[in-house]
Chain A
Amino acid sequence: DQQVKQNSPSLSVQEGRISILNCDYTNSMFDYFLWYKKYPAEGPTFLISISSIKDKNEDGRFTVFLNKSAKHLSLHIVPSQPGDSAVYFCAAIVIGAQKLVFGQGTRLTINP
Chain B
Amino acid sequence: DAMVIQNPRYQVTQFGKPVTLSCSQTLNHNVMYWYQQKSSQAPKLLFHYYDKDFNNEADTPDNFQSRRPNTSFCFLDIRSPGLGDAAMYLCATSSKSEKLQETQYFGPGTRLLVL
Q: Please classify the interface of chain A as helix (H, G, I), strand (E, B), loop, or mixed, using the class held by over half of its residues.
A: loop
| Choice from B31, B91, B103, B111 contacting A98 with Cβ under 8 Å | B31
How many inter-chain contacts with C-beta < 8 Å in the A-B complex? 62
Q: How far is the CA of A97 from the CA of B55 in the complex (A)?
A: 11
Considering only residues 51-103 of chain B, those with a C-beta below 8 Å from chain A are: 55, 90-92, 94, 96, 99-103
With known contacts A51-B100, A100-B45, A103-B42, A41–B111 Cβ distance under 8 A: yes
B58 CB to nearest A CB, Å? 11
Task: Give the residues in chain A near B104, CB-CB below 8 Å.
Answer: 34, 46, 100
Complex interface bits, A64-105 against B, C-beta within 8 A gives 1, otherwise 0: 000000000000000000000000010001011011101111
User: Which residues from A are CB-within-8-Å of B41?
Assistant: 104
Q: How far is the CA of A5 from the CA of B102 in the complex (A)?
A: 20
Residue of B nearest to A45 (CB): B106
Contact of A89 among B42, B55, B92, B102 (CB under 8 A): B42
CB proximity of B111 to chain A, nearest CB, Å: 7
Q: Using a Cβ–Cβ cut-off of 8 Å, how many residues does chain B contribute to the interface with A?
A: 30
**A44 B106 Cβ-Cβ under 8 A:** yes
Say whether B43 faces chain A, with CB atoms less than 8 Å apart.
Answer: yes
Do residues B99 and A46 form an inter-chain contact, with CB atoms below 8 A? no
Known: A51-B100, A98-B48, A98-B55. 16 other contacts (CB 8 A): A41-B9, A43-B4, A43-B6, A43-B106, A43-B107, A43-B109, A45-B106, A89-B42, A95-B100, A96-B99, A99-B45, A99-B48, A100-B92, A100-B102, A100-B104, A102-B43
User: Which residue numbers of A lie inside 8 Å of B, CB to CB?
Assistant: 4, 9, 32, 34, 36, 41-46, 49, 51, 89, 93, 95-96, 98-100, 102-105
Q: List 29 A–B pairs whose Cβ atoms lie within 8 Å, in order of A's numbering.
A: A9-B40, A32-B100, A36-B106, A41-B109, A41-B111, A43-B90, A43-B91, A43-B92, A43-B107, A43-B108, A43-B109, A46-B103, A46-B105, A46-B106, A51-B100, A89-B42, A95-B99, A95-B100, A96-B99, A98-B31, A98-B48, A98-B55, A98-B96, A99-B45, A99-B48, A100-B33, A100-B92, A102-B42, A105-B42
